[in-house]
Structure 1
Amino acid sequence: MRILHVFETLPGGPATYLNETVPAQIAVLGEKNVRLLVPDAHVSFLKNIPPSCVSTFARKRRLTALPALGAAVARQVREFRPDIVHAHSTFAGAIVRAISALPGQFPPVVYCPHGWVFDMQTLGNLKYPARWVERALVPLSRIIVAISDHEYQQGLKAGIPADRMRVIENGISSRPPESVPAQWKDERTKVLFVGRLDRQKGVDVLLEAAASLGETAVFRIIGAHVTNRDHLKQATPANVEFLGWKSAEEITGQMAVCDVVVMPSRWEGFGLVALEAMRAHKPVIASAVGGLQSVVSDGVTGILFPAGDHVALARAISSRNRESWARMGAAGYQRFMERYRSERTNQELMDLYRTIVSKPSAESISRI
């Protein structure tokens, strides 16, 4: 069985997902049977992937790179001859499925949105045509993998048939990356943020909350801007430190010395950082959006608060002492071990692939 994974972008959740699932598939199927198609500018995000499994396409700007992605997909299908093409995220999903509708044979397509595009707040009224496009492309997907129950439910609301979706929740390895030791000595509550510094991730909400907690909490922010920083108009409070991008090993070290991890996202398909925190025995304060509502057990493994509400976020951060956070972190670790290990995710993906490949050829993919 040969699997071709297609990614149009990697930073953030897609890279974490790739690095958790693809090495496991390579271990089972062998290097010759798994291939990645990724942007040339994002190769540095790959971990434990043999170079022989990686092909690239030129990507400087997102929209102008799509023709290059389409040509690369067609070339890989022709040369690599995969049994399944697994397309990740909106643009890769659209390009792969559009090419599959052209004359000629094309392998079955598995599509994973990693968060529906029509869930994005910034889309405005464009979310309605985005839903229409997703519905129109459904016949070109053998199955759509929803990474959370929220994503599945949103798909149903958008008119996507239940029998064309399968929930396979995200997971990460129970063994964290080797830690780079970190120091963080402060009597205040130590709050860690990990993610892109963009509107979706709610860094501006975090800064507003931090400004009111100078005597109560101290913050470290790991991440960088991937587009622009126009949404961050406020000054950086004295109790906030920006660390920039860090390696997985450095993030492990920073999580080890914090009290709580915060995720003030405005929308989120799943929220893999929450799993990283739970694996590290840390509680999570998160916006009550998307998959985070399932991952974080409110009042048990962390606290959920209304998205965009910096007052509620500040209240949540100051609501517990260090001992209480530690108890929540222990409960979060137990929840992670029971539900969110990548071993389960990887097995369910492989079972799905095998089911698709074993179906008779007469059940070939439908055409629009």
Structure 2
Amino acid sequence: MAALLLSDLNPKIMVDIVEYGVDEKFHEANWDPVQQPTVLFVGSIDERKGVAHLIEVAALPQCAGINFRIAGVGALKNHLMEKATENVTWLGKVDRSKVISELEAAWALVIPTFADTGPTVVKEARVVGLPVVITNAAGASSYVDDSGCGFVIEPADLAGLSKSILEICGDREECMEMGRKGWKEHREILNPATTARSFRQIYEKLLSPPDSLSAT
């Protein structure tokens, strides 16, 4: 999107988009969802991240059989813990190894954010193989929108959020099939080696004689 906006301002501007790769440990992860439907949230527990809506969805009778695992800390945590139903587990602050193990076991990553440039955990989830439920207010929604590996909803859309979670958690095999959509492509573009190669190509272009730049 940024590249398109810059091109509109000045068609002569040269823009290269480089995807930052995901840590190799996520590439080595083995996604094997637990038998009971489980969704994961990773991030700050505040208004902007929309966690309160996820807690509301967890309380719906039709979601009683789904485990909601919340990783992170923030200003709303204590308040939401008081309101949460028994199918919500609070993991607190977690390190990267714990994020990997949680992703390996979950059926889906759910990020009901109101505004986000990423988040990075969406890229990590896609490298591992999980479907993602995310709002169109997040920059990383493009990974889901482009491949069909989950659902992109409007912020604060409780009906859309619950419907998406229920659809993913309806059948384990179908969940895994959804996660495989675009998985190989995401692993390739989010490989650190791909990032390094892209930067090298940009540097080589910048160091090329002016005539070669104008010819491209």
TM range (shorter): 0.7 to 0.9
CA distance in 2: counterparts of 1:339 and 1:348, whole angstroms: 10
Using CA pairs under 8 Å that are at least 6 residues apart, name the structure with larger relative contact order, 1 or 2. Answer: 2
Match of 1:282 among 99, 119, 130: 130
Secondary structure in 1 matching 2:113: coil
**In the alignment, residue 47 of structure 2 is paired with which amino acid?**
R
CA distance in 1: counterparts of 2:148 and 2:46, whole angstroms: 28
Report if aligned partners of 2:27, 2:187 keep a CA contact under 8 Å in 1.
Answer: no
Match of 1:222 among 66, 71, 84: 71
Does structure 1 residue 324 correspond to structure 2 residue 171? no
**In the alignment, residue 352 of structure 1 is paired with which amino acid?**
I
Does structure 1 residue 347 correspond to structure 2 residue 210? no
- Residues 241, 154 of structure 1: alpha-carbon distance in 2 compared, 3 angstrom cutoff: farther
Calculate the TM-score normalised by the size of structure 2: 0.77
Calculate the TM-score normalised by the size of structure 1: 0.48
- The Cα of 1:268 is off from its aligned counterpart by 2.4
- Show the counterpart of 1:152: 3
Unaligned runs of at least 5 residues, structure 2 = 211-216
Which structure has the larger Rg? 1
Question: What RMSD in Å do the two structures reach over aligned CA positions?
Answer: 3.4
Q: Deviations over 1:205-250 (max 9, x none)?
A: 211222214424111111112xx33996671222111101212111
Structure 2 counterparts to residues 210-359 of structure 1, below 5 A = 210-212=58-60, 213-225=62-74, 228-229=75-76, 235-297=83-145, 300-320=148-168, 321-353=171-203, 355-356=205-206
**In the alignment, residue 229 of structure 1 is paired with which amino acid?**
L
Structure 2 counterparts to residues 118-137 of structure 1, below 5 A = none
CA distance in 1: counterparts of 2:44 and 2:12, whole angstroms: 32
- The Cα of 1:337 is off from its aligned counterpart by 2.5
Secondary structure in 2 matching 1:167: coil
Unaligned runs of at least 5 residues, structure 1 = 1-149, 361-368
Does structure 1 residue 166 correspond to structure 2 residue 13? no
CA distance in 2: counterparts of 1:169 and 1:251, whole angstroms: 21
Report if aligned partners of 1:283, 1:332 keep a CA contact under 8 Å in 2.
Answer: no
Q: Deviations over 1:163-220 (max 9, x none)?
A: 26432223214542777x9x99663x20011112233322122112222144241111
Identity fraction in percent: 24
Structure 2 counterparts to residues 40-189 of structure 1, below 5 A = 150-153=1-4, 163=13, 165-176=15-26, 187=36, 189=37
- Residues 316, 184 of structure 1: alpha-carbon distance in 2 compared, 3 angstrom cutoff: closer
Secondary structure in 1 matching 2:101: helix
Structure 1 residue runs of 4 or more that deviate by more than 6 Å after TM superposition: 357-360
- The Cα of 1:292 is off from its aligned counterpart by 2.6
How many residues are paired up? Answer: 205
